[in-house]
Amino acid sequence: MLRRLTPFLTTLLAMLLDTAVIPVFYHGGFTVPLTLVVVTCIGLLKGRLQGLLFGMIGGLLIDVTAGTLGMMTFFFMAVGFLTALIVDENNDRPITGVRFHLRRAAVAFALCMLGEIVFAVYQYFVTAAFEWHQLRSMALRCAIAAALTVLLCPLLDRLFNGRRSAAHARRSAGSKREVKYF
């Protein structure tokens, strides 16, 4: 029972850190939403449906606490779903070593950068202000998010799946099981 609650508890903890703890200690421009990293990891480890579900939960919680009116909900849902769709570790041939982690990091970086670009375009149309140094900040935030994704995925895999190996969890979690037990 606790194994089924750990993704929700992890998402809730990340949201609390994002909205209550991190803003107290750090006010800089390189703040990476930890909830986005957790949703990305859930999408990678648990599949499309759970990535979508926990993206919705994390996005709604952040929208309610920060007052962004649905912007983060859609973005987190898209990231959770697209991460698992692009990196389908159940059907792909197994990749090990550095290529495995680089593929995860590249997907996390690309989806984070896509979100940053969409939010920058939205900000430009609202404020009509754009500065080129924002691109550097966007790239650094996405690189930090990708690094956090690569670092947190093994820890969250161990937390979600217990002592079972990651290869065994990927082999046993097919699309039929994912839908059946969702």
Residue 96 clears pLDDT 80, i.e. is over it: no
Q: Which of 47, 164, 165, 42 is nearest to 96 (CA)?
A: 165
Q: What is the pLDDT, as a whole number, of residue 62? A: 93
How far is the C-alpha of 162 from the C-alpha of 165, rounded, in Å? 8
Question: Considering the chain, what is the average pLDDT of its residues?
Answer: 86
Using the predicted structure, report yes or no on whether residue 37 has a pLDDT greater than 80.
yes
Return the minimum-mean-pLDDT range out of 78-82, 96-100, 152-156, 167-171: 167-171
List, for residues 108-144, the tens digit of each pLDDT value. Answer: 999 999 999 999 998 899 988 888 888 999 999 999 9
CA distance 122 to 161: 39
Q: Any long-range contacts for 119-123 (C-beta under 8 Å, 24+ apart)?
A: 119/71, 122/71
- Please tell me the pTM assigned to this model: 0.84
